[in-house]
A and B are shown apart, each in its own frame.
Chain A
């Protein structure tokens, strides 16, 4: 069942031109290190045994945010049939961190890949009423058609990558 959902998620991401890697906790750091281009900003990852690669700035200034090529953050969950990731706007700074860089690398636990929007909003509804979970459902890169043709990287990232951690 879980594999099906992950596969659906991968297929949706392919449609969006979003690269995706599956790995386990032990291999995650190496996968991430391979896929980022400096300068890198990030927010410490909440998965046991997974750390950010070396050289990632975790307390960036606004100027560093703007200058970053890559940003790494965990996401709360993902929605398989749309290829969306749920970026939490917590005090740790996932929201601004994921927003300014050219590429956002979204790290998600396979167990948090939900099948559809129904499941996503059930989870979101509870979370929001419990506290104030500010969440951005992000699907693919930012885009605009306002300048006469479709361009990715309007105000937000030009590209998104996803990393799915399978034993989490």
Chain B
């Protein structure tokens, strides 16, 4: 190894450490300044959404319909653009198809100049934010006013939106009051939300009256009629359109749907998904130029029907990267997004830091990675992409069923591949036998190759544990690989679960059922007791267990965006299980995130028949136990109890609807169960180990801590099925969490249940 290489390595490591520290500091700052307001508001929206969709019998049917419409619309987009153009022109409007931001802005400036407008009023539109229209008009000396009250606050404060539906979600009432006093020096004291609203309404009312041009976005555009749909609650879009004679609507091309009737599912879904309202106060379906009489004739001219003809309409359809997204197999899904914000509101990290950490130049939250990568480029997405932990809580919340975590994984993979090659490769090739480009960030590589690491650490245990626990080693680990020194590392076991089982063998003869028990890396090398408990639970129900060598599922590399490695793992796993599937054996999985690989993610990696076979034969441990009990297996061999437990279900298990099985089995055995209802524990695999995210992880965990230390849960035994959830709960609470298998383990000594 030459001195040169050493020097290079040091420099890179220092840069990584610096940028990790800078990121951690920025996150801490946002947690302290904006976290509370963001948390309060997103939690309110989120609760509202759960209530609103619980009432809706047709929810799943509407989502399916919405998805179909979007798929079809994006597939036929070029034709829809042409029909839209014809329809709008027939109505007397103009259509401009803009290639990019500069092109769109040039057209808008021309329209505004032709109208001789000094003031433009706007209703909220993310697309115009994406284009920076306001800056373009400002440069021409035109006054532009945002009329959405949230946008108005940000405009006055000179800040960027932090949420796609409620842009000023991070601002408190007190903060807004202070801002208005400072900026406008009002005659009266503005204190309550009602005062502030009244003031803003009056101020903006004057701007609207003066304005000659009204700009809106469009939530949807219908190709059959050339109509636009505007979804608002404040009524500002109505005024923006009605009070001005020149209307410019700016919309991404992906907003087009074929027909007016297609608006129906979206109208029913968008408010519920976003803020939890059944429907937003106003859904305008306009076919501009609108027919309302002009209000622009002067304050003393009465409304008169004839003036309705004096209106002008321009529809600016924006490409700005969307055609390329449409041709990209993975980013294409982003175009189905209706920007309802359900993904952001249900995201535990977003609930803590909001869009100023979890967002790019315009868009924020989980789906923002797709938008930013598509419209502003990968650098814009890189800043916040890692904040998606892949927990999948957003997946069932998206009204158009976009697999948002997958888009995040793809973008992460592309970012990995774009990295500077060569760094670290020489040191770590042995440790990281993955399929990834050599330049990949060491932290990602370590977590992505967790299995290799575990194997090595187990073979050298207990020395490896002592070394890992040794202060200077932890400091090095933190400096080089960004593994936070405050987080306790797992202790690897010399005797793995597979070793144990190979020695012990099966204790069941004449079994009706044979299963393959699939221990994850953590269970096999660290939490061996949970695997042992799982074996005894299954055997107590008359099941013969097999435990062949099957590799890690690919979850670890996938969560680091190492898709090629995850793909290769999927093939190996399937190869190792194929004979067992042939023999009709079910696969019982201990760690929910591995089951989520088999049931969700492998669809991307395996040929369809292989994916379906494995997915159909795989069960989460408690799902399987539940099935056995339903099929009349005798529960007497399991450890019954009259204990009270507080159960935190793993996020991916909840997405798959599996949490109910654990609760049901525990209840059937006599346990009194309270289940947590926070979105996530905050650990999500490797996330909480990373130095830059440690504080955020704990802040997210605080919601779970609060729930599990409240009256009624404080004295319960804490139960969690996910490995990282257990680690996090261990750090958050004074009580050690137990795995549910160890709770019902027939061999459990009285009173004890092992977290491992």
Q: List the interface of chain A (C-beta within 8 A of B).
A: 59-63, 65-66, 82, 84, 89-97, 99, 117-118, 120-122, 124-125, 128-129, 132-151, 153-157
Contacts and interface: CB of A to CB of B under 8 A. Distances in A.
Contacts of A150: 193
A149 B148 CA distance: 15
Interface in B138-175: 147-150, 153, 166, 168, 171-174
Interface residues of B, number: 69
A151 B149 CA distance: 11
B273 interface: no
14 contacts: A59-B302, A62-B295, A89-B291, A91-B305, A93-B292, A96-B292, A122-B261, A132-B291, A143-B233, A144-B149, A144-B150, A147-B197, A150-B193, A154-B234
B173 A99 contact: no
Contacts of A65: 295, 303
Nearest to B308: A91
A129 B196 contact: no
A81 to B, nearest CB: 9
Contacts of A97: 303
A61 B301 contact: yes
B284 A136 contact: yes
Nearest to B235: A156
Interface in B67-86: none
Contact of A145 (B166, B236, B288): B166
A93 B264 contact: no
A129 B193 contact: no
B349 interface: no
A91 B260 contact: no
A155 B234 contact: yes
Contacts of A59: 302-304
Interface in B248-298: 259-261, 263-264, 267-268, 275, 278-288, 290-293, 295
Given A63-B300, A146-B168, A129 B225 contact: yes
Contacts, number: 194
Counting chain B CB atoms within 10 Å of each CB, the highest count among A91, A92, A141 belongs to: A91
B236 A136 contact: no
A148 B171 contact: yes
B201 interface: yes
Interface string B553-583: 0000000000000000000000000000000
B417 interface: no
Contact of A93 (B192, B196, B200, B293): B293
Considering the complex of A and B, which 7 residue pairs feature the smallest CB-CB distances, nearest first? A148-B173, A156-B235, A154-B234, A91-B305, A149-B193, A132-B287, A146-B150
A124 B305 contact: no
B642 interface: no
B118 interface: no
Interface in B201-224: 201, 204-205, 209, 222, 224
Contacts of B293: 91-93, 96
Counting chain A CB atoms within 10 Å of each CB, the highest count among B166, B171, B268, B281 belongs to: B281
A99 B290 CA distance: 15
A118 B200 CA distance: 37
Nearest to A59: B302
B182 interface: no
Given A99-B238, A99-B242, A146-B150, A134 B233 contact: no
A126 B559 CA distance: 49
Contacts of A156: 234-235, 238-239, 281-282
A120 to B, nearest CB: 8
Given A61-B301, A122-B261, A140-B281, A117 B268 contact: yes
B305 A129 contact: no
A135 B287 CA distance: 9
Contact of B292 (A95, A128, A155): A95
Nearest to A84: B279
Contacts of B209: 62
Contacts of B382: none
A148 B176 CA distance: 8
B299 A63 contact: yes
A124 B285 contact: yes
A124 to B, nearest CB: 6
Contact of A66 (B192, B205, B260): B205
